[in-house]
Structure 1
Amino acid sequence: MENGKAAGAMNAALTQSLIELEQHVSRDGWDQGPRLFALADTAALIKAEPRLAAALAPETVEVSGLGPMRAYTSIEQEGFPGGKALDEALAGIGWPETVDGAALVVERVMLPPDAEAEMPADGSGVDLDAWVAAHPQRQEVRIAVGVLRDGSRDCALRLRSRDADDEVLSGPGLVPNLEEALAQTLRD
């Protein structure tokens, strides 16, 4: 696998999982802290624990067996980030081989590219967080970012100003630094 392709690779099952995950988290409303999830292959979970079949894919259990189901099951990691800064908390995470991927849901304030060009330089003495928070073009967003061991990456993003399930955007590379930090948790 080529690194360039892996870093930008997209996986339809991952995309669907992230959209579902963002919608799940959205039911708890806005102003939440970061939430971390392990992504496990649903079929492998059911094979290991057949009693989970109805809970993981209740609409797809058939008399003849299991029909199509979502590819990944999200398992929330309680207590994350445990009072640490997000980058520090992610740097301390490592997953066992049974985990196929990881997902993180965070809320942030973002600026459009033209507004970012106006930002004061580091070291200017301006509190950048306060500057961004006060900017008239700021957008509050909830981002679900996910990575898989095969290098696939994707994001689902909801603007607070367009807070509806059918307004969730998705695509790889929306938050590349966060994608990379999350990918590091899957490396040995």
Structure 2
Amino acid sequence: MNDSAPRTSDGDPLDAPTAALAAAVLEIARHVDGEALAAPRWFALARSAELMARQPGIAALLGDEASLALAADSAPLTPIELDDVPRVHDPLRALAELAWPDIAFGGAVALDLPAESWRSSLDAADDAARRTADALRGGALRVVVAASQEGTTYSALRRDRGETSPGAADADRFVLGPALLPQLAEALAESLRELPEG
């Protein structure tokens, strides 16, 4: 077993679909870290094996060992940032207008949210919601939320920058979980259910 594989808050390893989604979420979170997000940034999540089959040049860039490993495993996901997206700041409204590309097995959004907009949607009895509420203390919240066609969801909320060192591990820099912002996660999953399954 890979000790660096994503785990639940209790330390248990995630199942393969959730681990693949969690890895894509963290990749996006690192990609947008340090940038101000004036508007949501949207990402299609393609199965890496399918993406390489459609675009053989990607396999050549990765090299034989990496491309063979990805081709043999249907779980890994590759984020692809979308350019032609609604210029709407509210992610729930944007989803009503967003057209996912046909290669999308999943989708993700990265954005900065005013804390007051989302506190009311949290379940105070839920442990993940309590962790989210803790992350909301600093005003605007950096969040990446992803979902797959199968309905799996995962989120990363960035902790306040003043609370962690620049070289801190992901577990120390982010609050992680499958349904930290359930309203947004469910809307994202719903928007993907109409896509043909790959």
| TM-score (normalizing by structure 2) | 0.65
Are the aligned partners of 1:34 and 1:80 in contact in 2 as well (CA < 8 Å)? Answer: no
- Residue in 2 that maps onto 1:78: 83
- Residue in 2 that maps onto 1:119: none
Are residue 67 (structure 1) and residue 69 (structure 2) matched?
yes
- Residue in 2 that maps onto 1:155: 155
Change (3 A) 1:67 1:84: closer
Letter in 2 for 1:180: E
Query: What is the alpha-carbon distance in structure 1 between the residues aligned to residue 65 and residue 26 of structure 2?
Result: 29
Query: What is the alpha-carbon distance in structure 2 between the residues aligned to residue 31 and residue 157 of structure 1?
Result: 14
Are the aligned partners of 1:144 and 1:155 in contact in 2 as well (CA < 8 Å)? Answer: yes
Q: How far 1:94 moved relative to its partner?
A: 3.6
Percentage identity across aligned positions?
30
Q: Over residues 9-42 of structure 1, what are the superposed CA-to-partner deviations in whole Å (9 max), with x where a residue is unaligned?
A: 9610100110011100114x23432101110001
SS of 1:73's partner is: strand
Q: How far 1:109 moved relative to its partner?
A: 3.0
- Which structure 1 residue ranges, 5 or more long, are not aligned? 1-8, 117-136
Change (3 A) 1:158 1:150: same
Deviating beyond 6 angstroms after TM superposition, the runs of 4 or more aligned structure 1 residues are: none
Change (3 A) 1:94 1:48: same
Are residue 34 (structure 1) and residue 36 (structure 2) matched?
no
SS of 2:155's partner is: strand
- Which structure 2 residue ranges, 5 or more long, are not aligned? 1-14, 121-136
Letter in 2 for 1:24: H
**1 or 2, which has the higher helix percentage?**
2
Query: What is the alpha-carbon distance in structure 1 between the residues aligned to residue 148 and residue 91 of structure 2?
Result: 20
- Residue in 1 that maps onto 2:25: 18
Letter in 2 for 1:145: V
| TM-score (normalizing by structure 1) | 0.69
Which structure is larger by alpha-carbon Rg, 1 or 2? 1
Q: Over residues 126-153 of structure 1, what are the superposed CA-to-partner deviations in whole Å (9 max), with x where a residue is unaligned?
A: xxxxxxxxxxx44432111000011110
Greater relative CO (CA pairs within 8 A, separation 6+): 1
